[in-house]
């Protein structure tokens, strides 16, 4: 009997039902090909020969990891298409799915639109805005050739000492609302779409990833990758709730958390990964591990790696973000399957889920990048959306020492204005971590508008703008007749554990700078931070106005739009702002905060 031609296989028929295609393709796969699909590797160890020899199913770019220095979207598309070409030369021609940390726009790519980090978007409470940001991000991601965005982070940040606080939208109610990013990235599922079944609408959309399952923002003392000590009921009502919204929107993937629940590592937690997420909640997409997470299950890391592979895969992990030592992972996984320590039913379930998402995402029909989208990267429409997001995210904390004499909005036609601070003319600080690189950087790291740029564009032609990052005594001597000063200070960029902080201080003597300027000149303070930070009451009392600008991204014009009065302040605090770190953790209903959860003044009404 003649062998079935590749073109005649059911799985190659775009008109066949997805589940038929999945079962048909699975039935044709060898063990080696199945293990390859479960393996996700970093692009730095990826080559066409690696993909073809190991039948690799997924590649990712970790923490930026660009194809070249200063890589733009076309460079990314060239790289990813090259990997894809190799995948399509394998026996079954199964395309790879390429994942990227597009967490506030396609933030790894020079020239892309960088939107405010999630903490700022949480201050907007605007679910439609976040959905539109998701749609714009999807276009810019697909232009780069990637198919999968590791977003949204739906963590509930319970303690700002956590280094990933800015990746959270805030409290449970707000985070649940902001899961609209899923529909923005993937498209809106049709009426009657089953809960938990993955959905990607069209070629301009990408697979989304709800992370980090579950409880990552509730760890003791805000320690990243730490232990979340809560009851089962608290885990459900506080931390699990946003995942229900994501599943209802057909989120394609879920990423497990490094953290533990009451001492048990999430990556080996069969009850939460399989019994709850997959069986009870009906999730049918890919459950992916986090970066090198299987190494981190033990202390010290990497101890008895083979056992970690067994425990994680048996617990329910479908795809393993290896990302470098893929030969060791493949060898251990093969051995575990052959010995019966991991049953083939578990492997087949994992591969079915991976193939399901690939079929639904249209990768078999459209595996390569869509170069027609390149002109949309950083386009005016997307930058205007970013500007709108900045406007709506700003939280006005103080407006005038005298309640009867509001300081904002500022006059555009002031004779002379002083602009000060480490964050006034620094696009990298303005964007924060996860921008071009994992940690982010100082300086003009991409295309955008700094706060100083925006101020200069907004004031009248006769207004003199003086900028000094660190003002001299002579500047503050009182002989310069400044109408007002704008001081932009905050945190330097950070990511993950490196952002954990017990003191939550403003860097670069920022508080001292703000206070010294405010003692001499009527001052607006702008805080560029990823979370509430320590503020001395005496400093707050010295300034005329104080604004939390969070990490606004590339569109600094949005700040000028509001402080000069074209738009009013709309943002409300997504978490309580503590008086002292001794009060932490401070939940939304806790007494005596410096500024309570939901606080935010309004120039025209308050």
DSSP per residue, 175-224? HHHHTTHHHHHH-PPPTTPPTT-----STT--B-EEEEETTGGG-GGG-T
- pLDDT tens per residue, range 42-82: 999 999 999 999 999 999 999 889 999 999 999 999 999 99
Rounded to whole angstroms, what are the CA distances from 136 to 105, 245, 360, 497? 8, 21, 20, 29
- 480 pLDDT above the threshold of 90: no
Q: Catalytic residue at 126? A: no
Is 593 inside a domain boundary?
Answer: no
Residue 357: predicted pLDDT? 98
- 30 pLDDT above the threshold of 50: yes
Q: Indicate whether 216 and 250 sit together in one domain.
A: yes
Q: How confident is the model at residue 586 (pLDDT cuts 50, 70, 90)?
A: confident
Residue 434: predicted pLDDT? 98
CA dihedral angle for residue 347, residue 349, residue 355, residue 358, rounded to 10 degrees:
-110
Q: Indicate whether 398 and 371 sit together in one domain.
A: no
Is 497 inside a domain boundary?
Answer: yes
Are the C-beta atoms of residues 273 and 303 closer than 8 Å to each other?
A: no
- 1 pLDDT above the threshold of 50: no
Q: Indicate whether 23 and 75 sit together in one domain.
A: yes
Residue 277 dihedral angles phi and psi, to the nearest 5°? -65, -50
Span 312-325, mean pLDDT?
98
Are the C-beta atoms of residues 199 and 530 closer than 8 Å to each other?
A: no
Give the residue from 322, 342, 375 where a domain finishes.
Answer: 375
- 2 pLDDT above the threshold of 90: no
Residue 3: predicted pLDDT? 55
Residue 605: predicted pLDDT? 59
Residue 559: predicted pLDDT? 99
Enter the DSSP assignment of 408.
P
Q: Read off the tokens for 365.
A: 């029909």
Residue keyed to tokens 């990826």: 46
CB count, 10 Å around CB of 120?
Answer: 29
Query: How far is the C-alpha of 214 from the C-alpha of 273, rounded, in Å?
Result: 9
Query: How far is the C-alpha of 25 from the C-alpha of 419, rounded, in Å?
Result: 62
Q: Is 507 exposed, middle or buried (0-12, 13-18, 19+ CB in 10 A)?
A: middle
Span 23-51, mean pLDDT?
98
Kindly state the percentage of the chain with pLDDT values over 70.
99
Residue 495: predicted pLDDT? 98
Q: Indicate whether 447 and 338 sit together in one domain.
A: no
Given the residues 33, 101, 491, 496, the one annotated as active site: 496
Residue 399: predicted pLDDT? 97
Residue 590: predicted pLDDT? 74
Q: Write out the residue range of the structural domain in which residue 512 sits.
A: 394-583
- Find the CATH number of the domain harbouring 522: 3.40.50.1700
Q: Indicate whether 263 and 293 sit together in one domain.
A: yes
Q: Indicate whether 357 and 401 sit together in one domain.
A: no
Is 124 inside a domain boundary?
Answer: yes
Q: Indicate whether 358 and 400 sit together in one domain.
A: no
| Mean pLDDT, the chain, integer | 96
- 392 pLDDT above the threshold of 80: yes
Q: Catalytic residue at 101? A: no
The total number of structural domains that make up the chain: 2
- pLDDT tens per residue, range 7-21: 789 999 999 999 999
- 527 pLDDT above the threshold of 90: yes
- pLDDT tens per residue, range 413-470: 999 999 999 999 999 999 999 999 999 999 999 999 999 999 999 999 999 999 999 9
Query: How far is the C-alpha of 378 from the C-alpha of 206, rounded, in Å?
Result: 18
Q: Indicate whether 272 and 130 sit together in one domain.
A: yes
Span 507-517, mean pLDDT?
95
Q: Indicate whether 170 and 68 sit together in one domain.
A: yes
Span 233-251, mean pLDDT?
98
Span 569-592, mean pLDDT?
91
Is 601 inside a domain boundary?
Answer: no
Span 338-348, mean pLDDT?
98
Query: How far is the C-alpha of 489 from the C-alpha of 529, rounded, in Å?
Result: 8
Is 104 inside a domain boundary?
Answer: yes
Q: Indicate whether 361 and 417 sit together in one domain.
A: no
Q: Indicate whether 406 and 366 sit together in one domain.
A: no
Q: Which residues pair with 239 in a beta bridge?
A: none
- Find the CATH number of the domain harbouring 61: 3.20.20.300
Give the residue from 340, 375, 410 where a domain finishes.
Answer: 375
Q: Indicate whether 483 and 562 sit together in one domain.
A: yes
Is 502 inside a domain boundary?
Answer: yes
């Amino acid at each position: 009997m003649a062998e079935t031609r590749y073109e005649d296989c059911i799985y190659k028929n775009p008109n066949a039902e997805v589940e038929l295609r999945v079962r048909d393709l699975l039935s044709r796969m060898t063990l080696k090909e199945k293990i390859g699909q479960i393996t996700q590797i970093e692009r730095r160890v990826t080559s066409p020969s690696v993909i073809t020899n190991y039948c690799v199913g997924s590649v990712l770019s970790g923490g930026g990891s660009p194809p070249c220095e200063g890589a733009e979207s076309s460079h990314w598309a060239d790289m990813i298409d090259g990997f894809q070409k190799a995948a399509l030369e394998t026996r079954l021609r199964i395309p790879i799915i390429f994942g990227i940390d597009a967490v506030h726009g396609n933030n790894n790519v020079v020239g892309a639109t960088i939107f405010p980090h999630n903490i700022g978007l949480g201050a907007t409470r605007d679910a439609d805005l976040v959905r539109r940001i998701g749609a714009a991000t999807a276009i810019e991601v697909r232009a780069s050739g990637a198919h999968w965005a590791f977003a949204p982070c739906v963590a509930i940040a319970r303690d700002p000492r956590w280094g990933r606080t800015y990746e959270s939208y805030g409290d449970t109610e707000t985070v649940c609302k902001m899961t609209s990013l899923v529909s923005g990235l993937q498209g809106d599922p049709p009426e009657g779409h089953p809960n938990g079944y993955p959905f990607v609408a069209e070629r301009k959309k990408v697979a989304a990833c709800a992370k980090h399952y579950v409880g990552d923002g509730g760890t003791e003392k805000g320690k990243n990758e730490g232990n979340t000590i809560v009851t089962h009921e608290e885990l459900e009502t506080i931390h699990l709730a946003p995942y229900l919204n994501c599943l209802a929107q057909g989120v394609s993937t879920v990423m497990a958390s490094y953290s533990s629940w009451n001492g048990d590592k999430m990556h080996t937690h069969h009850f939460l990964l399989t019994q709850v997420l997959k069986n009870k909640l009906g999730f049918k997409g890919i459950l992916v591990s986090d970066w090198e997470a299987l190494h981190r299950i033990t202390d010290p890391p990497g101890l008895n790696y083979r056992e970690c592979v067994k425990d994680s895969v048996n617990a329910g992990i479908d795809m393993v973000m290896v990302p470098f030592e893929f030969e060791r992972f493949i060898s251990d996984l093969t051995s575990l399957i052959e010995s019966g320590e991991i049953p083939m039913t578990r492997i087949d379930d994992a591969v079915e889920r991976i193939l399901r998402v690939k079929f639904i995402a249209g990768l078999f029909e459209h595996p390569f990048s869509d170069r027609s989208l390149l002109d949309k990267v950083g386009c005016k429409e997307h930058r205007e959306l970013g500007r709108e997001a900045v406007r709506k995210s700003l939280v006005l904390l103080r407006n005038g020492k005298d309640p009867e004499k509001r300081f904002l909005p500022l006059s555009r036609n002031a004779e002379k204005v002083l602009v000060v601070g480490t964050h006034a003319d620094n696009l990298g600080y303005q964007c924060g971590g996860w921008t071009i690189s994992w940690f982010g950087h100082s300086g003009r790291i991409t295309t955008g508008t700094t706060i100083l740029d925006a101020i200069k564009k907004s004031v009248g032609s006769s207004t003199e703008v003086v900028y000094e990052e660190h003002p001299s005594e002579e500047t503050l001597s009182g002989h310069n007749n400044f109408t007002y000063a704008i001081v932009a200070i905050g945190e330097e960029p950070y990511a993950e554990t490196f952002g954990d902080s017990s003191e939550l201080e403003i860097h670069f003597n920022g508080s001292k700078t703000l206070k010294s300027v405010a003692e001499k000149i009527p001052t607006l303070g702008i805080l560029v931070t990823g979370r509430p930070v320590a503020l001395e009451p005496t400093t707050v009392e010295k300034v005329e106005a104080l604004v939390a600008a969070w990490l606004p991204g590339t569109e600094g014009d949005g700040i000028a739009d509001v402080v000069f009065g074209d738009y009013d302040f709309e943002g409300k605090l997504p978490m309580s702002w503590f008086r002292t770190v001794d009060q932490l953790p401070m939940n939304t209903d806790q007494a005596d905060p410096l500024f309570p959860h939901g606080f935010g003044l309004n120039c025209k009404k308050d």
